[in-house]
Amino acid sequence: MNFLPRKIRVLIVDDSALVRKLLKDIISGDPDMEVAGLATNGVEAIRAVAELKPDVMTMDIHMPEMDGLTALEYIMRKMPLPVVMLSAMAQRGAAATLKALELGAVDFIAKPSHYPSAVKEVREEVILKIKTAFHARDRVKAGYPKHKERRKTLPAVKPGRREKLVVIGASAGGPRALAEILPMFPRDMPAAMLIVQHMPGVFTRSFAARLNTLSELPVREAEDGEEIKPGTVLVAPGGKDLIVSPDRSGLGRVELMDSANRAGATPRIDTTMITAAETFGPRTIGVIMTGMGSDGARGMERIKKNQGITIAQDEASCLVFGMPKVAIDRGFVDWVVSLEKIPEKVLELLQLTE
């Protein structure tokens, strides 16, 4: 059944005829969507956006004549609309994809590894991410997320008597939002931080490396068995659920296990938050940020039950107000703040979690 007032009109941009056909078949087969047009490179994409005025665009990164990043930058400045990028599952593709997210793309889809069975492999993800992008159209057109000057780092807070843990969960819109707030945390922050961003495995190492260049705190992709230490940031690897386990020192360690393969929703935020709450108890701060779906709500509930503190990003600053809304509506959130106020609130609350 079509629950939308009209069908979502999608422009497909890819130099591969096979990929264009794959996406066309998926989009045309969904009752809520239709193909507005096809383009084979960035020049054609710019022309098609102006002429066809689609609701959403899917765009390849590597194309002849004009690549997807160049076209995306122009489109987001001149005639912004929600864009879902198509990315190769390789390290080079990861770096370009992260750049696309910084330029304003809502999300990305990793190109399937094989055809023709690829239709089944990516169908659910393509439909979900296009519809998510469509629902973010007002914020995209309004210029969110905006490019902002890098803010000064907030002043440090006094270290507490016991180790503390901050767990941040995000999905669509998260990479750019995290790149904005992470530089605001001081180098001597008296807590460890775990970031769980929905993202495939090949991308999270590049994502962590990118955050590391922006942050006063050291940021890296988490490794199985490593200790959770104050003043460090660990990013959950894509395809793995990050479990927080106690160790003999009374702090905590990271354990990684294969994650259930659910489109667009791994690593699972709930898994990390629930195990963090069990290990760190009232010394846990949970933060749920922009993204579609309900992942993180159960984790926020467990943190509250274990006397930790929970924060949600507010609707006005979210690219996609899905995950925060669910947690707020269910009563699992102590504080609702704008994106730019999250670091300040976290540092304030760290003083209270003794």
DSSP notation for 116-184: STHHHHHHHHHHHHHHHHHHTHHHHHTTPSPP-PPPPPPPP----SS--EEEEEE-TTHHHHHHHHGGG
In the set 15, 107, 295, 317, the catalytic residue is 295
Q: For residue 215, indicate whether it is catalytic.
A: no
Segment holding 310, helix H or strand E: strand 309-313
In the set 55, 198, 259, 317, the catalytic residue is 198
In the set 55, 60, 107, 171, the catalytic residue is 171
150-161 b/e with 16+ CB inside 10 Å = b?
Answer: eeebbeebeebe
Query: In which residue are the tokens 């006063």 written?
Result: 216
Q: Where does residue 323 rank: exposed (0-12), middle (13-18), buried (19+ CB within 10 A)?
A: buried
Q: For residue 317, indicate whether it is catalytic.
A: no
Q: For residue 62, indicate whether it is catalytic.
A: no
Rounded CA-CA distance 135/292 in Å is 10
Q: Where are the beta strands (DSSP E) in 198-283?
A: 219-221, 233-235, 240-245, 253-258
Query: In which residue are the tokens 């969904």 written?
Result: 30
Sheet hosting strand 192-197, strand order edge to edge: 219-221, 233-235, 192-197, 165-170, 284-288, 309-313, 335-337
Catalytic residues: 171, 198, 295
